[in-house]
Amino acid sequence: MERRSFLLGCAIGGLGLAIGPASAQQTQNPATLRVALLPDENAATIIQNALPLKKYLEQALKKDVELIVTTDYSSMIEAMRFGRIEVAYFGPLSYVLAKSKAPAIEPFAVGVSKGSPTYKSVIITRADGPVKSLADIKGKMMGFGDFASTSSHLIPRALLARGGLFGDADYKYVLLGAHDAVARAVQSGQVQAGGLSQEIFKSLVAKGTIDGDKVIVLAESDPIPNYPMVMQGYLAPELKAAIRAAFLELNDKEILKTFRAEAFVATDDHAYDILRETAKLLDLDLSKLKG
């Protein structure tokens, strides 16, 4: 996700709230907790799948819970920045961007999958297409998801860079917004290769959304720190403790499946330094990216 200007749009989609720093000065213990989920797939599907989470949190926290899916990663970052949401499930890079805009936010839990709080990114291509190796992407069209996505932009871009391929100079690319859109674009031939989360790709194949015989994995990344749950730092201490406990004690397999996780464990900001380091290697100045 490398636009020449390295800028993200700032429009807040779907929240219907006025912009302004004053909105961050909310009560520390709100009656309704607004929980944002990362818009990495179809919004209606995300909300539907997360309804058991809403019920669980309402029971655990004794509060009303409103689930929110913003129009894109940028809108979610801005919503956190201006206090329009209290809790958010960020991607690793979108969290780093949010933290750069709102230093007081706190990552507190991370999903564990196969015993590890990490996941991987993959680059996929059509089995019968012209791309047989990463080197073959030179001169071709690459598909990325959102500009602030870790596994659908930053990491696959880093994989290509390690192979000597750089966006614009060596390959063209298109930003498709979501991981599932990238997979569909590869399958249809709209792009010759694409980057997305390995777990999301596996899920799309398992559901039949993508034909696993037609679309194959070309390369996979090293482990990446998993998606963090993040809360506003200004919340009341007792509420923060309750939110933290609700996720760390969560053992409902159906709810955890929403996060492609087996459990949540504690995390902190330092776990995501690897994303900052990767951005530096790619000459991405995160401070210039509008969240």
283 pLDDT more than 50: yes
Residues of the chain with CATH 3.40.190.10: 21-112+227-288, 121-220
Mean pLDDT of 214-240: 96
pLDDT in tens, 74-118: 999 999 999 999 999 999 999 999 999 999 999 999 999 889 999
pLDDT at residue number 137: 98
What token pair was written down for 75?
């809108």
3 pLDDT more than 80: no
Rg (CA), the chain: 19
Q: Please report, as a single letter, which amino acid is at residue 20.
A: G
Q: What percent of the chain has pLDDT over 70?
A: 88
Considering the domain 121-220, what is its CATH architecture? 3-Layer(aba) Sandwich (3.40)
pLDDT in tens, 146-181: 888 899 999 999 999 999 999 889 999 999 999 999
Q: In this structure, are residues 179 and 148 in contact, taking their beta carbons and an 8 Å threshold?
A: no
65 pLDDT more than 60: yes
pLDDT at residue number 284: 64
| Segment among 15-24, 29-38, 237-246 with least mean pLDDT | 15-24
pTM of the full structure: 0.76
What token pair was written down for 250?
């969560």
Neighbours of 200 (CB within 10 A): 24
86 secondary structure, DSSP code: S
Q: Span 21-112+227-288: which CATH code?
A: 3.40.190.10
